Structure 1
Amino acid sequence: MSLVMRKIYITLALLILGVAGMAYLYFSTLMKDSNNNDHALYTVVNSAPVIFTFENDKGFYDILSKQEVTTELLGTEKSQLLKTLKSAIVDNSGINNWIEGKKVILGFLPGQNNTVDFAIAVQLQNMDVNEASLKNLKAEIKKEGNYYELKFGDTAKCYLSLKNQAIFISNSKQGITQINAAKNTESDFADYIKKNSRFAKNTLANIYVNYGQLPSLLKNILNSTLTGELSLFNKQNAYAALSYNFGSDKLLLNGYTEVNSETNFFKLFADQKEQKVSIDQCFPEQTANYTLFTIEDYEKWSKALKNLQKENKEEDKINKQHQEINEQYRIKIEQSFPVYFNKQLAVLQLKTGEKIGVVDIKNGDKLEQFLLDLSTEYAPEIRIFKEPHLLGNFFGEPFKKFERPFFTIIDNHFVVANYASTLQVFLNSYRGNKLLVSTNDYTYFKDQISSSATIAFYINRDNSSDIFSKNLRAPYYKQYQSKNGVKDYNAFGYQLSADNGKFLSNVLLLKNQTTNTIDSLKY
């Protein structure tokens, strides 16, 4: 190689190293600035599984003041404190210029003694806010360590911290202490919020949920563990990004729910096209809650279920059981439910707490014949399985609670329960046309939400009263029963519709309608 060529190569190498070095410095500085600019967000998400964000804009507060849902959900005490803070900060021109036009982050986090605290955070950026500036708040200010206690009047009290060009406010000492202790570390949830906030610029407010951390918040609200119908909220590796829509008679959220784990049961439905929901047509009128699933392609879905069972080390046990059944009863068990299944299944709970599983089927008479040797007659219309776990083997997690159930088949509905008396309640309601779909409240709920879904959850407030009296801690059950709480709300729904690996989501909390309003809908 000539001396000239060697010099050219050396020069090129130095140029490349120089460019790489400058690029590294540029992007590392950019990332550092970005982390500083998002310090408020990264700090709050470390403690709060539920995040509410909005722009500090007069129009937002004008709309919020015209609806009551925040007061009814949060309770009088926290709502009043938020109103006091709004008056002290937003309506105070000497203070509002700190946060004018900036994003407000409101996080809900677990507190002490089974409470739910909140933390408000705003990234101030390049603004010098100090203790002297706080005097404009017109509050009694007391310095306590690395935070301030603010007292408004005789009762309203909150705690404030200034950190990394961000302002943090909490209703509790523990909340502000937790915020001060939090580090500005990497967070998948914070990154998820940042990514999705780019697509939500035209919405008034947004809610983000980290289902993985949600149990830490719910354990302060519930007496029970997150099993059964509450398993949706139990350590799910999933995030939701939802837009908040205001209304006087409902809370409506729209957006996406994203399941991050491949070994999550709900992930099995991420590529199943939504279906028009019809299975709820047979549910008894005393239904308190239900979870329903639609499966467009059972063969494809079943392969995914088997992969999940393999991952959970259940596959060998299931295969062995099926082989023993095939040999003992001289049938092919794989030709039962997979052959006769008809796209929809559900698990519901009655107001008494009893649980029922329903599977829509084709050719119910043939399936009944197929299952004759596998079951024993208990009553003229009710039989019981001889072998356990069959429904869980074919339909997964929701049906594992029916280990060796009683069953009946009526009008191509395969219905199971752990008690024969529960099935009799179902049959009596069905034949007497005492159904959920015949009630005015459910009719109105269905009118307000999409008729199609891949997965849907529903809670009927009135029918769930006894269940919640056992599951909710006393202060929250009081809020549930209070006229100033959610007593006037009758229905909660959460719909998931598969969309390219994620779920389009609709969340609805609906108020009761007066008789006149409901009657007017009929004409």
Structure 2
Amino acid sequence: MRKIIITISLLIIAAFATAWLYFNNISSSESTTEKAFNTIPADASLIFEYKNETSFYDIFKDFTLFEAVLGQNISKHLTALKNTFIDNTSFNDALSTSELYFSVHQTAKNQADVLIIAPLNNKQLESSQESIQNLKQKFKIEEKVLNKTTSYTLTFNNQSKFYFTLAKNVWIGSFNENLVQKALLESSNKKQKFFKGESFSSVRNKNAIANLYINYPNLAPFLAGFSKKDKPAETENLKTFPAFSSLNINYQKNAFMFSGITELEQKGSYPALFLNQQSGKCTLLDLVPFDAASYLFYLVSNQQTFQQDLNALFEKRKERNKKNSQLQNISQRHSINIEKEFPLVLGKEFGCIQVASGNKIGIIKTNNTGRLSFILSTISTPINSKISRFDDSDILYYHLGDPFKGFRRPYYAIIENHLLVSNSMQALHGFLQNYEEQNFLSRTDRNLQFQQYLSNQGNIFYFLHNSNAKAVIKSYLNSKVNQQFKSDNFGWKNIYGISVQFSADKDKFFTNLYMSKIPELEDTNTQADSLLLDSLLK
């Protein structure tokens, strides 16, 4: 009996010990991974992660979008690195099954490069150090010590130089030496950098074959670094979107498909207003003109709640008194209680469309066209039989918020149950003509092909039409960068468009990101699908 008790006790102890070792290894692995992730400098806007396993390379062996987006030069560099480190027998054990992180950073005006990070356990670290000695027999490798850390410079046959180092169980490398040094400094900083207020492990899908992380506020200065404008207005929406996304990849041959969650860094922001709304079907998608370069649409389920939250936001921004003063002044001059009347006719959908010429058109769905026409007639001046102009400023901004901040005293027209506004009469005329002739982007073959992978349910909808946006992109980018952008080095000319959709899910957004090549359709009507913008680009 005593032997049985001792045997059972030993088995129980062994079971607990095994479980403890297993979960301790998992915890240790996750800790090493998080430490590696936090080595990435804080100015990163995009980070791509995948596990260095054969399955990833097998799935994406014929995938060409990586080269189209990154460019042939960077792609060749990455291929050379794969042949040198990942496919190299002496180095393969060191990086086998490790997560690889590729972050994009601006290194100078109009220049960017990629930083590569990999977490290593103690066994992999020892293997890495042995592998470096083996590499020295095949390549020209220089080494130097900086702050007690040894850095290595590998020179390829084409004289390209790759810099890498091992620091605190993290492998760091880049074709830009300053990026490596910057990451080394970050490795000693324990402060959370990319996911503000959230831990990396809590937002990461470790079971996904690949993940994409986006820091939207960092995207604004990154893109501005390639612009010829001092303060490019096109990045303002990103600056006021204080959020980060953690998305996992879904394989499709000619497209990037990502889905996951988007967390807001601060709840007191304009996008946060939509977390209090339910997602729904966006019907504005059907009215997008065929020459649209981009659109940004919003959907609310309860207009009254939205108005209350918007007023609270103005209070926080210290704009509430200015709003009240403006609306009271309008009411006194026009003998109408605009603050009470106008929200009652607002529908649940609104947003902004930018057409190929660069002009912007605001669109608002209304639930009472007759009443809306009467209200607007009291506070506007007719220009012609179809178009009028607001007599006072900021009415739309004070009732719908940020998307309409640029429309101070716009021209407007009403078609069926939609209010259209623009600072350009020409843009309004163009939209009305497209509406009358039913020239909608949603009816083109390529857009139908693109939209079949997207949902029309959500709260925030963004879309960029690559071909129609050529002139807009040209006006934004520095001329040198624009030439590179259009060159054969990149494959952006083969991209149809990019879509990002956000659907409220309690305290976060469920997010879909989709970017695809131009659909290959036998019966595509190319004239209807894309504008001939060559004349605009000359």
Q: TM-score, normalised to structure 1's length?
A: 0.88
- 1:296 maps onto 2:262 in alignment: no
For 1:486, the aligned partner's letter is W
Q: How far off its partner does 1:490 sit?
A: 1.1
- 1:96 maps onto 2:67 in alignment: no
C-alpha separation between the residues in 2 aligned to 1:269 and 1:144?
A: 53
C-alpha separation between the residues in 1 aligned to 2:89 and 2:194?
A: 34
* 1:2-401 pair list within 5 angstroms: 38-126=34-122, 127-128=125-126, 133-137=131-135, 138-146=138-146, 147-182=151-186, 183-187=188-192, 189=194, 191-197=198-204, 200-224=205-229, 228-234=233-239, 236-401=241-406
For 2:253, the aligned partner's letter is S
Distance 1:343 1:130, change over 3 A: closer
C-alpha separation between the residues in 2 aligned to 1:453 and 1:513?
A: 24
Greater CA drift, 430-439 or 291-300: 430-439
Q: How far off its partner does 1:387 sit?
A: 0.9
Correspondence for 2:422 among 417, 421, 424? 417
Greater CA drift, 308-317 or 142-151: 142-151
C-alpha separation between the residues in 1 aligned to 2:139 and 2:341?
A: 71
1:1-47 Cα offsets, whole Å, 9 max, x none, are xxxxxxxxxxxxxxxxxxxxxxxxxxxxx999976664322111434
Contiguous gaps of at least 5 residues in structure 2: 1-25, 526-538
For 2:357, the aligned partner's letter is T
For 1:512, the aligned partner's letter is I
Contact 1:124 1:165 in 2 (8 A): yes
Contact 2:420 2:428 in 1 (8 A): yes
Greater CA drift, 381-390 or 427-436: 427-436
Distance 1:45 1:175, change over 3 A: closer
Q: How far off its partner does 1:336 sit?
A: 3.4
Greater CA drift, 408-417 or 57-66: 57-66
Contact 2:220 2:236 in 1 (8 A): no
C-alpha separation between the residues in 2 aligned to 1:106 and 1:393?
A: 42
Equivalent in the alignment of 1:12 = none
1:75-108 Cα offsets, whole Å, 9 max, x none, are 1111111111111111112111112112112211
Greater CA drift, 135-144 or 462-471: 135-144
C-alpha separation between the residues in 2 aligned to 1:225 and 1:502?
A: 33
C-alpha separation between the residues in 2 aligned to 1:188 and 1:142?
A: 32
Distance 1:504 1:34, change over 3 A: closer
Contact 2:380 2:390 in 1 (8 A): yes
Contact 1:374 1:386 in 2 (8 A): yes
Q: How far off its partner does 1:478 sit?
A: 3.5
For 1:336, the aligned partner's letter is E
For 1:108, the aligned partner's letter is V
4+ residue runs over 6 A deviation: 30-34
Contact 2:224 2:232 in 1 (8 A): no
1:362-411 Cα offsets, whole Å, 9 max, x none, are 22122111221211111111111111110001000110100001111111
Equivalent in the alignment of 1:512 = 518
Equivalent in the alignment of 1:486 = 492
- 1:436 maps onto 2:441 in alignment: yes
Equivalent in the alignment of 1:13 = none
Q: How far off its partner does 1:312 sit?
A: 0.6
1:318-349 Cα offsets, whole Å, 9 max, x none, are 11121222222221102433111121001011
For 2:93, the aligned partner's letter is N
Q: TM-score, normalised to structure 2's length?
A: 0.86
Equivalent in the alignment of 1:502 = 508
Distance 1:43 1:348, change over 3 A: same
1:473-505 Cα offsets, whole Å, 9 max, x none, are 345434542454111111110100110121111
Distance 1:33 1:105, change over 3 A: closer
1:125-151 Cα offsets, whole Å, 9 max, x none, are 213257663133332101244321111
Equivalent in the alignment of 1:6 = none
C-alpha separation between the residues in 2 aligned to 1:393 and 1:287?
A: 26
Distance 1:372 1:427, change over 3 A: same
Contact 1:490 1:510 in 2 (8 A): yes
Distance 1:212 1:514, change over 3 A: closer
C-alpha separation between the residues in 1 aligned to 2:194 and 2:341?
A: 43
C-alpha separation between the residues in 2 aligned to 1:260 and 1:390?
A: 29
1:253-312 Cα offsets, whole Å, 9 max, x none, are 111111121221111111211111111222221111110000110100111100000011
SS at match of 1:96: helix
SS at match of 2:95: coil
For 1:243, the aligned partner's letter is N
Distance 1:235 1:40, change over 3 A: farther
Greater CA drift, 388-397 or 96-105: 96-105
Q: How far off its partner does 1:239 sit?
A: 1.1
Contact 1:214 1:235 in 2 (8 A): no
C-alpha separation between the residues in 2 aligned to 1:153 and 1:76?
A: 18
